[in-house]
Chains A and B, each alone.
Chain A
């Protein structure tokens, strides 16, 4: 890209329209001068005009030369563009989404809301309502318009917006190092959080304790008995009781740490009180839990999907090229024919590929565990056993199909 930047700089410097404007100006000056002399001496008009013809022609030749230079410069830049960003055909005929713009609009408005772009989201909802999109199904894409009935108002955008604006209020308070709204929220949703196996409520309370413990020099709160060591103690007495059953050990640690308050740096509890990343960490886990309780993923799905798409495209393009060349179609419409490698952070589900059939298990073809503990897909099991006794493909264990147990991964 650096090369291209240099080419562009050249284009900007050497081949722009400024020169031609200057030369047009020169012609203008000549015309004006001619007019002046005609006004001065009307009798010289024919002479002046005759004398003007050549300079005018030259003037325009000059302008044309200027333009030629611009054209040449643009062509050079065009070639550089071709070289640095070679044209690659995009797979326009394979667009699985053209028939479902309403769902895309829904995804976009939810994305905007979750990003906290409330103003843009509301403009968008207005515009989309006023001018609903028309599905434009393509021959190659299935038309699912019948389930596309979800219209935007049913998205309860207002409700969602209130929720997300609540989330951003709490996050902003966290940024300002005020834990109270977050703790309040966690307490109100304590039951759901516990069910998710989240200890967010305790983590927040713990941070509050540590925050108070570190005292006014760190937290900048007023130096009174509600701050510092005594403040932390009071806080612990008031709030830690409810966590005793689940987090006794952590609470004990925090309590013991009080004994080291004079030289925390050298104490074994140094780590607990190192809050450099603590605020970011609680913000992240707060966002995750908040979204999870709404049934939404913590990261914007639109962002993840678009990013995954950009990563997948080169591979898919290669595939489409092969499919086109061989004039074949892949046989399993429900599954992509090539494997696409994604970063680890983009893998969310357990994936089980049957070691016998090499197929991924599905609801119809679930993973089955034999008594020996090995797992194969149900269809493979049926094929292997033919209803009778069979040997596990991985160990000497023998069993009958009814002994195999469907498992949920």
Chain B
């Protein structure tokens, strides 16, 4: 049987939640490399062929010296462009290297700790909570809060604010009412989206369609029908209900009937979340905070946390009983215990409440009672000591 109380810290298994911390920068590093590689490949092919053609043309005297010079200039320009791109890749690479280093150091600190009671562990765990919070905030699109918190706590290297901002450009453009970037993004990530059975592309195309109808311009309406045939009909098996709506919409100009014209829902359906999962292998589909919390809430929860009996007033308030988490923990299972965990010197007061003897004595002393009296820690009723009976917990 597992022990009820532990303070053992096993860093290897303790880092389950922290895998994305190192995976994400690494995956981005690879992506960054691919971009660099692609550019080199493209430019080298182009340059080599330009050079060959120019040389041939010059040899056959087909090209004027001016033309030759122009071609050489364009090659130099291309090369400079390549250098610029590589330099920016190199900067990104450096950022990711730096970030990985800080993160490995941060995780490594855990290996230097003796136990869960170590003061250093508490500090580390607080930083972890801050990381989880920033991750949560980013996923729900609370960007300002996320960067403020990261800055306030000085954990910029340990969270992905910057990466996220880069990735959330798409959702930004959506918010401004442009779907082009989002559609391009859909195209790049076709495979993953299909696997996720994402409705995203359909929603975007539908929105384009709505925007065309919104104008009520005759030409645009015709365009809309073509658009629907081309982009929306292929989805008729996946989303039959919506397809009906598509044609229904033709009959309803904006302002009549229920309003599917609202743009609001679209922006919401393209949460930065999607952009974040651009790299699905390393970025978990739900916020890590959810995982940590649902495990933690259950581990801490006891039947007493949602009991009708108020907990005794002197104990420190339990985190699950505290307002912050009480409702959240309600539907979750409570922790399993195989052994009782009560004070060893329980005394039962006549009103049915049981407390440890030492606790009762201390409380009586603090309340300024004479010797020989107990005071109930919940209700404040006062009893003679003889009225209390001993409780045996086996």
Q: Closest residue to A244 on the B side, CB-wise? A: B368
CA distance A195 to B305 in the complex (A): 21
Most buried by A among B80, B108, B353: B108
Q: Is B187 an interface residue (CB 8 A)?
A: no
- Tell me what chain A mostly uses at the interface: helix, strand, loop, or mixed: helix
CA distance A56 to B14 in the complex (A): 53
Q: Contact check: which of B16, B325, B391 meets A407 at CB < 8 Å?
A: B391
Interfacial chain B residues near A112, Cβ < 8 Å = 149
A147-B303 in contact given A64-B40, A92-B285, A351-B341 (Cβ < 8 Å)? no
Q: Contact check: which of B1, B136, B354 meets A408 at CB < 8 Å?
A: B354
Q: Is B216 an interface residue (CB 8 A)?
A: no
Q: Are A49 and B58 in contact, with the CB atoms below 8 A?
A: yes
- Binary interface profile of A, 92-132, with partner B (CB < 8 Å = 1, else 0)? 10111110110110111011100001011001101110010
Q: Contact check: which of B14, B286, B318 meets A92 at CB < 8 Å?
A: B286
CA distance A352 to B140 in the complex (A): 40
Q: Closest residue to A112 on the B side, CB-wise? A: B149
CA distance A5 to B105 in the complex (A): 8
Interfacial chain B residues near A64, Cβ < 8 Å = 40, 44
Q: Contact check: which of B22, B100, B111, B148 meets A123 at CB < 8 Å?
A: B148
Q: Are B145 and A123 in contact, with the CB atoms below 8 A?
A: yes
Interfacial chain A residues near B65, Cβ < 8 Å = 38, 42, 45
Interfacial chain B residues near A98, Cβ < 8 Å = 286, 290
Q: Are A305 and B48 in contact, with the CB atoms below 8 A?
A: no
- Binary interface profile of B, 134-156, with partner A (CB < 8 Å = 1, else 0)? 00110011111100110010000
Q: Are B2 and A70 in contact, with the CB atoms below 8 A?
A: no
CA distance A400 to B275 in the complex (A): 67
Q: Contact check: which of B1, B2, B5, B128 meets A306 at CB < 8 Å?
A: B128
Q: Are A340 and B314 in contact, with the CB atoms below 8 A?
A: no
Q: Is B229 an interface residue (CB 8 A)?
A: no
Q: Which residues of B contact A (CB under 8 A)?
A: 1-7, 10, 13-19, 22-23, 26, 29-30, 33, 36-37, 40, 44, 47-48, 51-52, 54-55, 58-59, 65, 68-69, 72-73, 75-76, 79-80, 82-83, 86-87, 89-90, 93-94, 97, 100-101, 104-105, 107-108, 111, 116-117, 125-126, 128-129, 132-133, 136-137, 140-145, 148-149, 152, 268, 284-286, 288-300, 302-305, 307-309, 311, 313-325, 327-328, 330-343, 346, 348, 352-354, 362-363, 366-368, 377, 380, 389-394
Q: Closest residue to B369 on the A side, CB-wise? A: A246
Q: Are A35 and B333 in contact, with the CB atoms below 8 A?
A: no
B-contacting residues, A300-319, CB 8 Å: 300-317
CA distance A39 to B129 in the complex (A): 64
Q: Is A324 an interface residue (CB 8 A)?
A: no
21 contacts between A and B (CB under 8 A): A4-B104, A16-B93, A21-B83, A49-B54, A49-B55, A95-B290, A104-B289, A108-B133, A110-B324, A291-B317, A302-B293, A308-B299, A309-B17, A314-B14, A315-B2, A332-B333, A333-B333, A337-B336, A338-B2, A339-B336, A363-B307
CA distance A120 to B148 in the complex (A): 6
Give, as a whole number of angstroms, the nearest-CB distance from B328 to chain A. Answer: 5
Q: Is A383 an interface residue (CB 8 A)?
A: no
A341-B129 in contact given A91-B291, A348-B315, A408-B309 (Cβ < 8 Å)? no
Q: Closest residue to B145 on the A side, CB-wise? A: A124
Q: Is A387 an interface residue (CB 8 A)?
A: no
Q: Is A11 an interface residue (CB 8 A)?
A: yes
Q: Closest residue to B11 on the A side, CB-wise? A: A1
Most buried by A among B1, B319, B368: B319
Give, as a whole number of angstroms, the nearest-CB distance from A308 to chain B. Answer: 4
Q: Is A173 an interface residue (CB 8 A)?
A: no
Q: Are B76 and A28 in contact, with the CB atoms below 8 A?
A: yes
Q: Are B313 and A87 in contact, with the CB atoms below 8 A?
A: no
Q: Contact check: which of B128, B321, B354 meets A297 at CB < 8 Å?
A: B321
A21-B90 in contact given A70-B33, A71-B33 (Cβ < 8 Å)? yes
Q: Contact check: which of A2, A28, A350, A358 meets B79 at CB < 8 Å?
A: A28
Q: Are B116 and A343 in contact, with the CB atoms below 8 A?
A: yes
Q: Is A63 an interface residue (CB 8 A)?
A: yes
Q: Are A97 and B5 in contact, with the CB atoms below 8 A?
A: no
Q: Are A194 and B292 in contact, with the CB atoms below 8 A?
A: no
* Listed stretches A77-85, A164-172, A213-221, A268-276; interface member: A77-85
**Nearest 10 pairs of A and B residues by beta carbon:** A309-B296, A301-B319, A348-B318, A1-B108, A246-B368, A309-B292, A305-B296, A341-B6, A49-B55, A308-B296
Interfacial chain A residues near B17, Cβ < 8 Å = 90, 309-310, 313
A353-B314 in contact given A34-B72, A408-B354 (Cβ < 8 Å)? no
Interfacial chain B residues near A96, Cβ < 8 Å = 290, 294, 297-298, 331-332
Q: Closest residue to B18 on the A side, CB-wise? A: A85
- Binary interface profile of A, 354-383, with partner B (CB < 8 Å = 1, else 0)? 010010111100000100111100000000
Q: Contact check: which of A45, A336, A361, A369 meets B335 at CB < 8 Å?
A: A336
Q: Are A343 and B76 in contact, with the CB atoms below 8 A?
A: no
Interfacial chain A residues near B152, Cβ < 8 Å = 117, 119-120
